[in-house]
Chain A
Amino acid sequence: MKRAAFYLLLAVAAATFLYPFLWMAATTFKSPAEVGALSLLPDQPTLENYRLMWARAPFGRALFNSMLVATTITLSVLVFGSSAAYALARLSFPGRGILNAVTVAVLLVPAQLTLIPMYTLIVQLGWVDSYAALIVPFALNATAILILRQFFLQVPRSLIDSARLDGMGELRILFTVFWPLAKAPLAMVGIITFMGAWNEVLWPLLVVRDEQLMTLPQLLTVFSLGGGAGPRQLATKLAAAMVLVVPVVLAYMFLQRYFIESMASTGIKG
């Protein structure tokens, strides 16, 4: 009985989170007359909202841009972040302690604080309205370095020694020995980075004005602000939001096991 009550409570809690999302998903298939209704099942399901969304703004192009930018950032953070983490965790060189301290200190600086200097830099480099402006500033981050460094510190030294005796150089040790062992933290860093890059709105709004280069959340923001209000527009905007959210949900579903495993082992909470 107690157990049933517990599960009922959990179900109610889950429903409060799920309902708005399900309502959003359902509304994208509703006709304009039904948009305000609270029901989850549309009377006359229609794909009109998706057609309208696609016709009114270059969402296809924006989806491609977002995919390109988020994937490149994620790969870059994994490769460069793990390289930096490996060096900071396992190599001895002068200044390592200072670099470790600086990496932690970077976390203390709010991102908003660096926006203007970063924007000025991008303007001076002539990168406004380019993929470089969207990718390069996020190609490496301190969180990734710290998470991976923490894991790399736990790898036994004998394994590195053994790899050196086998004739491996440092990069090969990183990618042949450490990467397969670090699947869980790498997956977690990957998904956190991908989600961050995918959902980023403020930075693209600053550095990109060309519609052909806009990312999905940016175009969605511009579309929502410029597209006017009212229920007719609402379903179309929600359709665009669905296109934004689906890839992240899919990525999470694929990597969920690693994500939970890694959160449990590193004690990092999202």
Chain B
Amino acid sequence: MATVAFEHVRKDFGTTTVVRDFDLQVADGELVVLVGGSGCGKSTILRMLAGLESITSGTVRIGEREVTHLPPRERNVAMVFQDYALYPHLTARENISLGLRLRKIPKDEIQQRVRWATEILELGPFLDRKPKQMSGGPWCGNPQCSCSMSRSPTSTPTCVARCVRRSPKCSGVSGPRPCT
């Protein structure tokens, strides 16, 4: 994990300013929750952190590194989406390992990550199922959400962002999480 800093960040969509002079310091390992009304910019801030949205002005740092203009794949950030964003045509195992494979992480390490997900997030029975086949069953918690959380572009993400609604779909997640 690492620190996260937003410095005077501004985001405009055309002529509409959605984030104005936003400052935030998040310490290493700290849990931060952004709360606000619909359309106030919570998701935009997370998307700017992940590199999915460009920044009009200001600076974003993860650790000591300035990442303001880096593409998502170079930021080492994991994100859990509100709808989980699992690839529907891949099994849980493939969903977890795809990002790692694309980064040419050694097979042993990928297997280790899958094992970790299996044990910590109780994903064992779902590993060879596709997202549609994951819901239901006698297990407690939400396996789709667990699977989404165990996906990360590297084996050790420096930062985890997560989007949830106020009535979170992920409320039933069991087991400890890397960071929420």
Q: Which residues of A contact B (CB under 8 A)?
A: 156, 158-159, 161-168, 172, 177, 180-181
Contacts and interface: CB of A to CB of B under 8 A. Distances in A.
Given A158-B81, A158-B82, A165 B87 contact: no
A166 B50 contact: no
A181 to B, nearest CB: 6
Contacts of B84: 158
A172 B102 CA distance: 10
B98 A161 contact: no
Interface stretch (B2-10, B70-78, B135-143): B70-78
10 closest A-B pairs by beta carbon, nearest first, are A166-B99, A167-B73, A162-B85, A158-B85, A180-B89, A158-B81, A164-B72, A167-B102, A161-B52, A165-B72
Given A162-B81, A167-B73, 9 more contacts: A159-B87, A161-B47, A161-B79, A164-B51, A164-B73, A166-B99, A167-B102, A168-B73, A168-B102
B135 to A, nearest CB: 17
B172 interface: no
Contacts of A167: 72-73, 99, 102-103, 153
A161 B80 CA distance: 11
B109 interface: no
A156 B86 CA distance: 11
A165 B47 contact: no
A164 B52 contact: yes
Contacts of B52: 161, 164-165
B77 A165 contact: yes
A165 B99 contact: yes
Interface of B: 47, 50-52, 71-73, 77-79, 81-89, 98-99, 102-103, 151, 153
Contact of A166 (B81, B83, B102): B102
Given A156-B83, A181-B88, A181-B89, A165 B102 contact: no
A165 B88 contact: no
Contacts of A165: 50-52, 72-73, 77-79, 99, 153
Nearest to A180: B89
Contacts of B85: 156, 158-159, 161-162
